[in-house]
Chain A
Amino acid sequence: MTERPLLGRPLRVAGAGVELFIDELERQGAPVERIDWRPPASGSAEALSRLALRSHQIAAANDEALARLQAARPMVTGIGMAGDLVEDMDERTFLHAGPPIEWPDMSGPLRGAIIGAALLEGLALSAEEAADKAAAGEFNFVPCHERGAVGPMAGVVSRSMPMWIVTNEAAGNRAVSTLNEGLGKVLRYGAYGTEVLDRLKWMRDVLAPVLSAALNEMGEPLDLRALIAHALQMGDEGHNRNRAGTSLLLRELLPALLTIDQPNHDVVDAARFVSGNDHFFLNLVMAAGKATADSAAGIAASSIVVAMARNGTDFGIRLSGTDDAWFTGPASEVDGLYLPGFGPEDANPDIGDSTITETMGLGGMAMAAAPAVVRFVGGSPTDALDATRSMYEITWGESEHYQIPSLGFRGTPLGIDCRAVVHSNVLPVVNTGIAHRQPGIGQVGAGLVEPPMKAFVGATRALAETR
């Protein structure tokens, strides 16, 4: 047995930097962990240095943020109308996905969705009129995120749209999201034709009341956290793959649907609609993510990312410790597989609030739970495991509730630490759908996308300026 080690524990070295010195340690028989070091993202070194001198303070703040993320318990507590649920939602106001943006900068799908919403609300009689009014500044565009809402793809919300209400039982805060329209020609991909508007009206007049009645009939809120946790163990990752979640949701609702006093054909249509849409559960996962992440926002000195969102032009993030500030970079090209007849030249840049799923430890973070999604980039199931594993490098903790069977039920990477992203040059990995750049055509593919490092560098620098 050796004497008491000088520093109180046996020497085991982790080395970053000059290989020669690390080699020399191994040559002496000392066990060494090699750090795969590379310089931090360009422009971040100074900020990281300043933050390094506050590591204690930031660690405490991040611990608090992580605790709130873990404790969050999103529950579906009802369905309501956007105009009633969202603050200051007058008839001229449209919510949209991503960070703030004005009409001139909007991409095709977003413009199309605005046009469709304007038509839905009766603010214009034709697409041209809607576009002119938008261009003239007659409408008020606000990010969903700034009103406690989230929406996939274009994410456009107008006042008469029905919204899921998701309440975080732990902290008491609330988030809302639209109901998913399905695939093909839908508003969120920028389509605004008659069938789109008719469907939206049907959702408002039939689907929402049926689902609302069913929720009331159930008597108690629907435990979203539990549903998501189960779905994750059935091959979903909550962003691009929601088939299991949708099925579990229907199962929860089924007895109530059979009991409520609504016209039978309406119930049948509603049930058919939900069961025919593999992505129906997505909007609920997003609302759960928003309710979760919002509860961890506003903690001074915390470097945890509480929002990631794209508007088709920019990708924006928010940190807990920098309050409402958005930090943006150009939305990226998606690296994926295209449906027959389409190619990269048809693709719109990355768009949607659905990256709230990655922010809560799902989606790309949980790719190991849904290896099928790597088919989108021609990868193998091992790539999916590696993708999740590499995410642990940049998160503050691991989820206590969302676990991945193929990783031995290890919790998903939770709490993206902005400092770690710029320090290690590891960006959060995101799976997403690809929209056609022209409004109204719809989805043309799916794949992996990396947020712009610029956004994370900006956020890190801003955090370094705080006290």
Chain B
Amino acid sequence: MTNRLIVRRDTYYDSVTLMLASRDAEEVDGVSLAAAVIATPVNVTLLEAQGFDLTAVNTGPNDVVIAVRADGESAAAAAESAIEARLAPGGAAASGREREIPPRSFRSATRRNSEVSLAFVSVPGRFATVEVGNALAAGLDVFCFSDGMSLEDEAALKRDAIDRGLLLMGADCGTAIIDGVGLGFANAVRPGPVGIVGASGTGVQEVSCLLDSAGVGVSQAIGVGGRDLSRVVGGATTVRALELLAGDDTTEVVVVISKPPDAEVAARVVEAAGRVGKPVVVGFLGPGESTGEKPPNVTLVGSLEAASVHAAHLIGQSIDPAVALPEKRTPGFVRGLFCGGSLCYEAMLVVAAAGRSIASNAPLDLGGRIEDVEASIGDTFIDFGEDELTEGRAHPMIDPSLRNERLRREAEDPEVGAIVLDVVLGRSAHEDPAKDLGRVISEALRQRRNDLTVAVSLCGAAGDSQGVDAQMRRLVDAGAVVTRNSAQAARIAVAAVGGGGD
């Protein structure tokens, strides 16, 4: 009979680790007892009563003692190794992993570490299909930030994902929050009862931030990729995301956000929403008419702002979308310069609803497509995240210099009366966007002291590292009117130039 005592001083292991350490030791052949306890006087007495000699070991109540009894030296030694492995930093899982040569493929990564669960793909677009396909084949859920994958490939990969019981977020998916971890561009919002399914990254960001500022947290935010609701892809990931949120205990209300989807796909999504068993707010951006039957738990809205208001209401909180409109008139055209595609879209809806016609590189309808993205004409909205403006550059949320430069030019144009902008904070975004932007705004307003209105929507949460309050202050000091959502900024711009179009 051999007794062993393993002592760790002034060290905590959580109860599960202690239990596992005892269990690992007890599973060794020849070990009759293994007990892991905090070395309180009572527990020490108990161990001594069980025949262990702790007199030589000067333990205190913040030490951990593991007592092992085995039928021989080798069993005792084996038990001791098992315990040491469990208590080592990183635990037993850390042993046996090769770190010298990094893996070059998802398959190889999962073969080395079976705990890997999700692939983050942000390779150049022409390689996205290969990487996503490989990741799915390796049994991983996928977050695909890359864009440039063909629609057919995306549809096929999503079919493959469903067959394998996996989730493909993307392609062209910029935002997700899974189990509290922000993937891509995401804000540090608090945990709470609202689950979001978003085909548009900045749409998800704005809704999550508006909810957070009303004290309503987000349980999960599942990005589905900008084209999930196209006819070819058919809403595959959106429907699956709704199923996941239906089964998620921490989600009480679901919000779905997308630019206007294909009509058939829209109906399919609404039907799927009806099966969730919780209230669902479906926000297909646009003035759209709701066609056909709508399940009783589903509310249809047409803007990010409305989606946020309704979702908050369902949780018993309120978001007041009203905003003080400017008294001073600064007549002229409205120009919109945006980093976030959905924020641009949301603003355009407001401006169009006021009866104004808009040219854009990401227009509300085909008729509105601008001929030359560099040459604004009338009311013009530019989405700087579109392909033609991100060729060979970082995304404007990381590097807004191109947008800021355009702001300077637009501000100098005497025919422009109001400029609408967005500033998006959060993970992976520029660490201080208000600094440069503030400078450009204040310079522009100095030149056009009384006949230009600059309205900025600031998308951010209290927990974001850029500091929402500081960013807001910087922009206000520069002379901008700052709101927390894009629709409000657009309404201010419209009011400033005198309302409806000609």
Q: Which residues on A are within 8 Å of B, measured CB to CB?
A: 2-7, 9-18, 20-22, 24-25, 27-28, 30, 33-40, 45, 48-49, 51-53, 55-56, 59, 386, 389-390, 392-393, 420, 423-426
- Is there contact, CB below 8 Å, between B103 and A36? yes
Nearest Cβ in chain B — how far from A457, in angstroms? 14
Given contacts A6-B220, A386-B101, A390-B101, contact A45 B115 (CB under 8 A): no
When distances are taken between beta carbons in the complex, the residues of chain A under 8 Å from B107 are: 420
SS of A interface (majority): mixed
Q: Which residues on B are within 8 Å of A, measured CB to CB?
A: 98, 100-111, 113, 115-124, 126-127, 129-137, 140-141, 145-146, 153, 156-157, 160, 163, 167, 178-179, 181-184, 220, 222, 244, 248-250, 398, 427-428
- Is there contact, CB below 8 Å, between A52 and B130? yes
- Is there contact, CB below 8 Å, between A6 and B179? yes
Which of B110, B156, B179 lies at the interface centre, i.e. has the most chain A CB atoms within 10 A of its CB?
B179
- Is there contact, CB below 8 Å, between B118 and A7? yes
Q: Whose C-beta in chain A lies nearest to the C-beta of B222? A: A6
- Is there contact, CB below 8 Å, between A5 and B106? no
- Is there contact, CB below 8 Å, between A16 and B428? no
In the complex, A30→B137 CA distance in Å? 23
When distances are taken between beta carbons in the complex, the residues of chain B under 8 Å from A7 are: 117-118, 141, 167, 178, 244
Nearest Cβ in chain B — how far from A66, in angstroms? 14
Which of B104, B116, B137 lies at the interface centre, i.e. has the most chain A CB atoms within 10 A of its CB?
B104
Nearest Cβ in chain B — how far from A239, in angstroms? 22
In the complex, A51→B250 CA distance in Å? 39
Which of A16, A27, A39, A40 lies at the interface centre, i.e. has the most chain B CB atoms within 10 A of its CB?
A16
- Is there contact, CB below 8 Å, between A13 and B130? no
Q: Whose C-beta in chain B lies nearest to the C-beta of A393? A: B108
When distances are taken between beta carbons in the complex, the residues of chain A under 8 Å from B249 are: 3-4
In the complex, A423→B138 CA distance in Å? 15
The contact sample of 10 A-B pairs, CB cut-off 8 A, is A9-B117, A12-B118, A14-B118, A15-B122, A17-B123, A24-B182, A25-B183, A55-B136, A424-B105, A424-B108
In the complex, A426→B110 CA distance in Å? 18
In the complex, A390→B101 CA distance in Å? 7
When distances are taken between beta carbons in the complex, the residues of chain A under 8 Å from B184 are: 21
Q: Whose C-beta in chain B lies nearest to the C-beta of A54? A: B133
- Is there contact, CB below 8 Å, between B119 and A16? yes
- Is there contact, CB below 8 Å, between B118 and A13? yes
Nearest Cβ in chain B — how far from A257, in angstroms? 45
When distances are taken between beta carbons in the complex, the residues of chain B under 8 Å from A24 are: 182, 427-428
In the complex, A165→B132 CA distance in Å? 46
Nearest Cβ in chain B — how far from A56, in angstroms? 7
- Is there contact, CB below 8 Å, between B115 and A10? yes
Given contacts A6-B244, A9-B117, contact A33 B103 (CB under 8 A): yes
Given contacts A21-B184, A49-B153, contact A34 B122 (CB under 8 A): no
In the complex, A13→B141 CA distance in Å? 9
Out of B109, B130, B137, name the residue touching A35 (CB < 8 Å). B109
When distances are taken between beta carbons in the complex, the residues of chain A under 8 Å from B163 are: 56
Given contacts A6-B178, A21-B120, A55-B133, 20 further A-B contacts (CB under 8 A): A3-B249, A12-B115, A13-B181, A14-B140, A16-B122, A16-B131, A17-B121, A17-B146, A28-B182, A35-B102, A35-B103, A39-B124, A40-B127, A49-B130, A52-B133, A55-B137, A56-B160, A389-B98, A393-B103, A393-B108
When distances are taken between beta carbons in the complex, the residues of chain A under 8 Å from B105 are: 35, 393, 420, 423-424
In the complex, A424→B134 CA distance in Å? 12
Given contacts A11-B118, A16-B121, contact A21 B428 (CB under 8 A): yes
List the 4 shortest-distance A-B pairs measured between CB atoms, nearest first.
Answer: A52-B133, A17-B122, A55-B137, A424-B104
Given contacts A3-B250, A6-B244, contact A13 B120 (CB under 8 A): yes
Which of A4, A18, A28, A424 lies at the interface centre, i.e. has the most chain B CB atoms within 10 A of its CB?
A18
In the complex, A30→B179 CA distance in Å? 10
- Is there contact, CB below 8 Å, between B179 and A2? yes
When distances are taken between beta carbons in the complex, the residues of chain A under 8 Å from B248 are: 4, 6
When distances are taken between beta carbons in the complex, the residues of chain A under 8 Å from B160 are: 53, 55-56
In the complex, A25→B179 CA distance in Å? 13
In the complex, A227→B133 CA distance in Å? 40
Nearest Cβ in chain A — how far from B222, in angstroms? 8
Given contacts A11-B117, A52-B132, A393-B108, contact A45 B126 (CB under 8 A): yes
Q: Whose C-beta in chain A lies nearest to the C-beta of B111? A: A392
In the complex, A83→B143 CA distance in Å? 60
Given contacts A10-B117, A14-B119, contact A56 B129 (CB under 8 A): no
Q: Whose C-beta in chain B lies nearest to the C-beta of A396? A: B107
When distances are taken between beta carbons in the complex, the residues of chain B under 8 Å from A13 are: 116-120, 181, 183
- Is there contact, CB below 8 Å, between A386 and B100? yes
- Is there contact, CB below 8 Å, between B398 and A20? yes
Q: Whose C-beta in chain B lies nearest to the C-beta of A3? A: B250
In the complex, A25→B182 CA distance in Å? 7
Q: Whose C-beta in chain B lies nearest to the C-beta of A37? A: B123
Out of A11, A28, A35, name the residue touching B104 (CB < 8 Å). A35
When distances are taken between beta carbons in the complex, the residues of chain A under 8 Å from B109 are: 14, 33, 35
Which of A4, A7, A40, A393 lies at the interface centre, i.e. has the most chain B CB atoms within 10 A of its CB?
A7
Which of A21, A52, A426 lies at the interface centre, i.e. has the most chain B CB atoms within 10 A of its CB?
A52
In the complex, A53→B152 CA distance in Å? 10
- Is there contact, CB below 8 Å, between B103 and A45? no
Q: Whose C-beta in chain B lies nearest to the C-beta of A58? A: B137
When distances are taken between beta carbons in the complex, the residues of chain B under 8 Å from A49 are: 129-130, 133, 153
- Is there contact, CB below 8 Å, between A28 and B427? yes
Q: Whose C-beta in chain B lies nearest to the C-beta of A423? A: B105
Nearest Cβ in chain A — how far from B236, in angstroms? 15
Nearest Cβ in chain A — how far from B106, in angstroms? 6
In the complex, A452→B183 CA distance in Å? 39
- Is there contact, CB below 8 Å, between B116 and A14? yes
Q: Whose C-beta in chain A lies nearest to the C-beta of B113? A: A33
Given contacts A33-B113, A36-B104, contact A16 B153 (CB under 8 A): no
In the complex, A10→B178 CA distance in Å? 10
When distances are taken between beta carbons in the complex, the residues of chain B under 8 Å from A424 are: 104-105, 108
Given contacts A12-B115, A25-B181, A56-B137, contact A393 B104 (CB under 8 A): yes
In the complex, A2→B191 CA distance in Å? 13
When distances are taken between beta carbons in the complex, the residues of chain B under 8 Å from A40 are: 127, 130
In the complex, A390→B133 CA distance in Å? 22
- Is there contact, CB below 8 Å, between A423 and B130? yes
Nearest Cβ in chain B — how far from A174, in angstroms? 34
In the complex, A172→B240 CA distance in Å? 49
In the complex, A20→B160 CA distance in Å? 29
Given contacts A6-B179, A53-B129, A53-B156, contact A389 B116 (CB under 8 A): no
In the complex, A22→B153 CA distance in Å? 25
In the complex, A48→B157 CA distance in Å? 14
Out of B120, B181, B220, name the residue touching A14 (CB < 8 Å). B120
Out of A11, A20, A37, A52, name the residue touching B178 (CB < 8 Å). A11
- Is there contact, CB below 8 Å, between B140 and A36? no
Given contacts A33-B103, A386-B100, contact A11 B181 (CB under 8 A): yes
In the complex, A21→B201 CA distance in Å? 15
In the complex, A17→B109 CA distance in Å? 14
Nearest Cβ in chain B — how far from A451, in angstroms? 18
Q: Whose C-beta in chain B lies nearest to the C-beta of A390? A: B101
In the complex, A200→B288 CA distance in Å? 88
In the complex, A5→B180 CA distance in Å? 10
Given contacts A35-B106, A424-B105, contact A48 B130 (CB under 8 A): yes
Out of B101, B124, B137, B156, name the residue touching A389 (CB < 8 Å). B101
When distances are taken between beta carbons in the complex, the residues of chain B under 8 Å from A34 are: 102
When distances are taken between beta carbons in the complex, the residues of chain B under 8 Å from A17 are: 120-123, 131, 145-146
Nearest Cβ in chain A — how far from B112, in angstroms? 8
In the complex, A455→B305 CA distance in Å? 57
- Is there contact, CB below 8 Å, between B157 and A53? yes
In the complex, A35→B104 CA distance in Å? 5
Nearest Cβ in chain A — how far from B304, in angstroms? 23
In the complex, A20→B183 CA distance in Å? 11
When distances are taken between beta carbons in the complex, the residues of chain A under 8 Å from B140 are: 14
In the complex, A39→B105 CA distance in Å? 11
